[in-house]
Amino acid sequence: MSVSEYPLDLAAWIERIRGREMPVFGRTVESLRTLIADDRASASALAKVILMDPPMTTKVLRLANSAFFNHAHQGISTVSRAIVVLGFDPVVELALSVALIDALLNQGIRGRLHAEMARSFHAAVQARWISRKRGEGAGEEIFIAALLGRVGEMAFWCFGGEQAHRLDRCLSETDVREEEAQQRVLGFPLRQLSYGLIKEWRLGALAAAAMEMDPRGRGPGRSILLAHRLARLADGGWDSPGGRQCLHEVADYLDQPLTALRAEIIANAGEAARVAREFGATEAAGLIPQVAPEPEETMIQGTVVPDVRLQMRVLHDLAEMSLARANIADVLQLVVEGLYRAVGCRRVVVALLTEDRQSLVGRVALGADADALAARFVFPMEGEPDDVLDAAIDSGEAALINADRLARPGAERLLRVAACPECGVVPIGTTTRRIGLLYVDCGGKHLDQECWDAVRHFALQASLAVALSATPRP
């Protein structure tokens, strides 16, 4: 029986999503929940489950190193270290969330799915903040419970087929309320599907309790309910009647004046967009309402405006990783991410020397078509003193490529590959141990002095990590 032939009831939808549409996620949930329920489960057992899924491993480590989750700002380069720094249960919850978002991304009715995902990330950040303001603790548990609280809505827009299209048309072409449209098309509200999937997959007692809670109650569940309401009403604008009313509800719940909280609540939306990007939900991040564009995305007269505060956080994390002798590959990954998100570079490539030091090859990349650029970024090291790439490796010379530099020889082969007349290259490593270089550009826009200084600062931090990695631990 197909979804388009006969409508499914709630139980059939739960079974369909669990058994046919998301079986891999279900098995991941089962593996992780078995571990968290076993008091004798070891960190190595948890690490093994996560490491069997390379994309999950990469995202869990990236999140574990983010300022949002890593409050101690300790460099984390392995899953085992993440468990030590963050704790067993928080890493399980992170892995579950990563698995869910990965299972849902880029499928179904994407506009509706990404809107639900945006509200879920927004609510998760606001819920953690509300709970902490009340001194309730368990911030990460509340974040995850709020993030998973609309799993049914997200799964339906992802796998709903013809019925999802019917509901989409009903919402788009009529003025009926959302829950009424769901009842009309499906015979049940989607919040019941969320509740059923949360119970089926055992996604946490707090997530289920929040859905059963009296909206006037108190405690972590109320923080989650308020946060979801805040995230939904924010779509209409912070100064809409509904938005203003919800802001006052939050202030009353926290027993603090709204004037003291409003800026923090709005700033949380920016934090939510950053967290969503960390999870790989880039399109959802762009739907989280902001009062103004985030600094890292802002352009003034074609020039990138760096996010200095984010730069400081990433540089702090890099320093911690360097002092901890973290794996150089993990350091370089964070450097690339910092240059992309905090400095505002549109394309970043780390190119490393081959073992025989005869070629320079792109290894790590981020940005628009950066993977394709990295694949083309293969240069023999010929020792030509005028060539910007040879000079970076042989003499340690950084080069800012612009119209003045292009008037001189030595940048031709880089320009042929990068196809960008405004870019820069900075060597990585020490005089005795040069390992490669950084390539950056701003998508053809001017790379100004402030941006260029930041690029060199990040490259210097990477070089420090290379130097420290070669020295014995004290």
Q: Report pLDDT digits (tens) over 393-414.
A: 999 999 999 988 888 889 999 9
- Do the beta carbons of residue 348 and residue 439 sit within 8 Å? yes
Over residues 333-358, mean pLDDT: 90
Q: Is residue 229 assigned to a domain? A: yes
SS3 291: coil
Query: Do 242 and 349 fall into the same domain?
Result: no
For residue 376, what pLDDT is reported? 92
Q: How confident is the model at residue 89 (pLDDT cuts 50, 70, 90)?
A: confident
Q: Which residues contact 59 (CB under 8 A, 6 or more apart)?
A: 98, 102, 278, 279, 280
Q: Same domain for 246 and 342?
A: no
Classify residue 440: in a domain, yes or no.
Answer: yes
Give the pLDDT of residue 190.
92
The answer to whether residue 274 is domain-embedded is yes
Per cent of the chain over pLDDT 90 is 25
What's the DSSP call for residue 444?
T
Given a cut of 80, whether residue 211 has pLDDT beyond it is no
pLDDT tens-place string over residues 239-259: 788 888 888 888 888 888 887
Question: Span 227-240, mean pLDDT?
Answer: 85
- The model's confidence at residue 217, banded by pLDDT at 50, 70 and 90, is low
CATH of the domain at 314: 3.30.450.40
Domain count, the chain: 2
Quick one: 76 and 112 in the same domain? yes
pLDDT reading at 111 higher than 80: yes
* Contact indicator for 414, 448 with CB cutoff of 8 Å: no
* Upper half-sphere CA count for residue 180 (Cβ side, 13 Å): 5
| Mean pLDDT on 183-199 | 90
**Is the model's pLDDT at 298 over the cut of 60?**
no
Write out pLDDT tens, residues 318-340.
888 888 888 888 889 889 888 98
CB–CB of 422/459 below 8 Å?
Answer: no
Predicted confidence (pLDDT) at residue 44 exceeds the cutoff of 60: yes
Q: What is the mean pLDDT of residues 371-389?
A: 90
Domain end, chosen from 271, 296, 321, is at 296
- Over residues 444-455, the pLDDT tens digits come to 888 889 899 999
Q: What are the φ/ψ torsions at residue 180 (nearest 5 degrees)?
A: -65, -40
Let me know whether 96 and 120 are in one domain. Answer: yes
Assess whether pLDDT exceeds 90 at residue 88. Answer: no
pLDDT band of 292, cuts 50, 70, 90: very low
Residue 279 lies in a domain: yes
More confident residue, 39 or 361: 361
Mean pLDDT of 258-276: 85
Rounded Cα distance, 10 and 12, in Å = 5
Residue 4 falls within a domain, yes or no? no
Identify the domain containing residue 317 by its residue range: 308-469
Domain boundary among 254, 270, 296: 296
Same domain, 312 and 292: no
Residue 303 lies in a domain: no
Query: Taking residues 417-437, what's their average pLDDT?
Result: 93
Mean pLDDT, residues 279-302 taken together? 64
Q: How far apart are CA 129 and CA 415, in angstroms?
A: 47
Residues 36 and 96 in one domain: yes
Which of 263, 296, 329 marks a domain boundary? 296
Residue 474 lies in a domain: no
Q: Are 84 and 294 in contact (CB under 8 A)?
A: no
DSSP assignment of 165-181 equals HHHHHHHHHS---HHHH
**For residue 380, what are the β-bridge partners?**
359
- In-domain check, residue 1: no
pTM beyond 0.85: no
User: Would the pLDDT of 43 be above 50?
Assistant: yes
Indicate the length of the chain as a whole number. Answer: 474
Note the pLDDT of residue 137.
67
442 Cβ neighbours under 8 A, 6+ residues apart: 303, 304, 344, 345, 346, 422, 451
Residues 154 and 33 in one domain: yes
Helix, strand, or coil here: 370? Answer: helix
Residue reference for tokens 């032939």: 5
Both 278 and 369 in one domain: the answer is: no
pLDDT (0 to 100) of residue 1: 36
Which CATH number belongs to the domain containing residue 239 in this structure? 1.10.3210.10
Q: Which two tokens stand for residue 445?
A: 């826009």
Residues 108 and 144 in one domain: yes
pLDDT band at 438 (very low <50, low <70, confident <90, very high): very high
Mean pLDDT, all residues of the chain = 84
Distance separating alpha carbons of residues 443 and 131, to the nearest angstrom: 41
Query: In this structure, what are the phi and psi dihedrals at residue 321, rounded to the nearest 5 degrees?
Result: -65, -40
Q: Are residues 280 and 317 in the same domain?
A: no
Residue 302 has pLDDT above 50, yes or no: no
**What tokens appear for 394 in the block?**
């042989």
Whether 6 shows a pLDDT value over 50: the answer reads no
Based on the fold, state whether residues 282 and 327 are members of the same structural domain: no
Residue 141 has pLDDT above 50, yes or no: yes
Rg (CA), the chain: 25
**For residue 294, what pLDDT band results from cuts at 50, 70 and 90?**
very low
Domain shared by 290 and 410, yes or no? no
Q: How confident is the model at residue 299 (pLDDT cuts 50, 70, 90)?
A: very low
